């Protein structure tokens, strides 16, 4: 499978030139062709071996290497009118495993990042409850804790791709998703503390930001697996993720995961707020719109190779890496196609396969250097198979904005460059 190709070195040199490296590297010896400074490479001893580095606590809060400066969230400036009500995207093409680092989790704000002083933050629970409740962060932390790993996907993830391939990078096509481990209190615990009255069927959940985002949540989900989280990946929520507390609604659209959560009101009907009427409703070709489309259907994407992560090594052993997830349970299987969906090969799931969490998959093969039409397709434990874009459009048209979970196609060119394409 990993048969080495005798012309590999020249292929690599060719690709390096294609990737923008100075053409002069072609004339240099093998080590130089791989890039970098020969003075730091064998047989020489590199500069960082010859002198002491910085001591402990010089970096009291660690950051990635300066050589990783391009691994950042990015936005699409033309998409929205202002940065305060906009979105930035997770750099999926640079990440591995299933956990998203806190500083790289995509952002979606409606009124900017609220910088909440935890000493002044309050969570109020009222409405159809026996015992209305107001809690400080410290009081919330006294309740029994749970730890859960879940993905969180914006319902509009891939929404720019309904009419065809538009954005050239999986950061932009699929980057409105992240997956972290939350620590918090089961919402059920707090609702039981307050004592929901028998006619309490819906919750209004509301944030403390400048948009005071409010949504309706059915009581069945609230009592099932929702969490009021105050930690992500072990540390306090980041301000852009709702510090000091946010709602976690596993498997359901990100808009429901109200950040800077300040209020929960129990009622007997939904509120039909702006975010569940004007937005986050899915317009069908007949002019009717689906509402309360909460759950995120099974979806997958190859994160590498992808347009921002081309194949730079030339033909030979190649690792295809990707993510799969389902808002309706666990990932059951992932298949990969090299020919645009005509034939499929089982991918290997690696690492934990958790309920409503990202799952990492790999497909390893010996690339012969010919162009590929790479796709991935997930099936979740309910049997749902990720549809092609054509199958989705046949039912939903192209104006529904939300819930585009269609199969993504990456065109890998002979030179290793990758582009976002549509196939038929």
Partner 1 sequence: MSKSLKFAVATLLACALGAPVLAQQKDAKAGPRYHIGRAPTAEEIRGWDIDVRPDGQGLPEGKGTAAQGEKLFMDNCATCHGEFGEGNGRWPVLAGGKGSLTSDNPVKTVGSYWPYASTVFDYVRHAMPYGNTGSLSVDEYYALVAYVLYLNDVVTDQNFELNKETLATIKMPNEQGFVMDDRATSEKSFWQKDPCMKDCIAPVKITGRAAAIDVTPEDGKEKKSRGVE
Phi, psi of 330 (to 5 degrees): -95, 155
Q: Which of 41, 102, 181, 189 binds partner 1 (CB under 8 A)?
A: 189
Binds partner 1 by CB under 8 A, chosen from 341, 351, 352, 369: 341
- Residue 153 touching partner 1 (CB under 8 A): no
Three-state DSSP class for residue 396: helix
Q: What's the rounded Cα separation, in Å, for the pair 118 and 354?
A: 32
DSSP code at position 310: -
15 lies in the binding site for partner 1 (CB under 8 A):
no
Query: What is the footprint of partner 1 within residues 24-83 (CB under 8 A)?
Result: 70, 74-81
By C-beta, is 89 or 243 nearer to partner 1?
A: 89
Per-residue binding letters, 90-129, with partner 1 (x by CB under 8 A): --------------------xx------------x-x---
Residue that the structure tokens 């299987």 belong to: 333
* Closest listed residue to residue 107, CA positions, set 178, 174, 40, 28: 178
DSSP 4-54: --TTHHHHHHHHHHHTT--GGGGGS-HHHHT-S-GGGSTTSPPHHHHS---
Q: Any idea what DSSP says for residue 127? A: E
Q: CB of residue 192 vs partner 1: minimum separation in angstroms?
A: 4
Rounded to a whole number of angstroms, the minimum distance from the CB of residue 209 to partner 1 is: 9
User: What minimum distance in Å lies between the beta carbon of 36 and partner 1?
Assistant: 21
**Binding test (CB under 8 A) with partner 1, winner from 150, 246, 263, 356:** 263
As measured in angstroms, the least distance from the Cβ of 204 to partner 1 is 5
CA distance 315 to 416: 8
Cα 410 to chain centroid distance, Å, stands at 18
Burial 279-293 (b: 16+ CB within 10 A, else e): ebbbbeeeeebeeeb
Pairing of strands 123-127, 261-267: parallel
In the shown chain, the binding pattern of residues 267 to 296 toward partner 1, with x for contact by CB under 8 A and - for none, equals x-x-xxxx--xx--x-x-xxxxxxxxxx--
Per rule CB under 8 A, is residue 348 in the interface with partner 1?
Answer: no
Site for partner 1 in 372-391 (CB under 8 A): 373, 377, 379, 382-387, 391
- Nearest-approach distance from CB 396 to partner 1, in angstroms: 9
Taking the complex as a whole, the smallest distance from the CB of residue 303 to partner 1 amounts, in Å, to 16
CB of 195 to partner 1, least distance (A): 5
361: contact with partner 1 by CB under 8 A: no
Q: Per CB under 8 A, does 265 bind partner 1? A: yes
């Amino acid at each position: 499978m990993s048969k080495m190709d005798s012309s590999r070195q020249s292929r690599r040199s060719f690709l390096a030139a294609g990737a923008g490296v100075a053409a002069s590297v072609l004339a240099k010896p093998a080590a130089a062709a791989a890039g970098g400074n020969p003075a730091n490479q064998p047989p020489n001893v590199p500069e960082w071996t010859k002198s002491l580095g910085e001591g402990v606590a010089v970096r009291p809060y660690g950051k990635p290497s300066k050589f990783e400066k391009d691994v950042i969230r990015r936005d699409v400036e033309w998409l929205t009118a202002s940065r305060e009500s906009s979105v930035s995207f997770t750099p999926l093409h640079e990440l591995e495993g299933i956990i998203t680092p806190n500083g790289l989790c995509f952002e979606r704000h409606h009124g900017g990042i609220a910088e909440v002083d935890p000493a002044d933050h309050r969570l109020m629970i009222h409405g159809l409850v026996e015992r209305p409740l107001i809690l400080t962060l410290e009081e919330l932390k006294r309740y029994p804790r749970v730890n859960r790993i879940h993905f969180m996907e914006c319902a509009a993830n891939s929404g720019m791709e309904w009419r065809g391939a538009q954005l050239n990078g999986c950061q932009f096509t699929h980057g409105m998703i992240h997956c972290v481990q939350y620590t918090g209190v089961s919402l059920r615990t707090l609702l039981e503390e307050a004592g929901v009255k028998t006619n309490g069927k819906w919750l209004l959940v509301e944030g403390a930001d400048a948009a005071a985002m409010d949504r309706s949540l059915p009581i069945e989900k609230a009592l099932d697996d929702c969490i009021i989280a105050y930690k992500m990946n072990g540390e306090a929520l980041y301000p852009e993720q709702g510090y000091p507390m946010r709602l976690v609604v596993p498997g359901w659209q990100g808009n429901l995961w109200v950040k800077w959560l300040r209020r929960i009101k129990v009622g007997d009907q939904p509120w039909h707020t702006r975010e569940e009427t004007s937005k986050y409703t899915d317009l069908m070709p007949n002019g009717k719109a689906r509402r309360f489309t909460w759950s995120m259907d099974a979806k997958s994407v190859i994160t590498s190779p992808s347009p921002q992560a081309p194949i730079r090594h030339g033909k030979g052993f190649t690792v295809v890496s990707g993510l799969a997830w389902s808002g309706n349970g666990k990932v059951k299987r992932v298949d990969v196609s090299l020919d645009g969906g005509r034939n499929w090969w089982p991918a290997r799931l690696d690492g934990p396969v958790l309920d409503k969490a990202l799952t990492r998959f790999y497909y390893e093969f010996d690339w012969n250097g010919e162009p590929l039409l790479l796709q991935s397709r997930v099936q979740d434990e309910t049997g749902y198979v990720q549809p092609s874009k054509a199958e989705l459009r046949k039912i939903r048209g192209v104006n529904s904005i939300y819930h585009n979970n269609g199969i993504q196609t990456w065109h890998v060119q002979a030179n290793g460059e990758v582009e976002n394409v549509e196939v038929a």
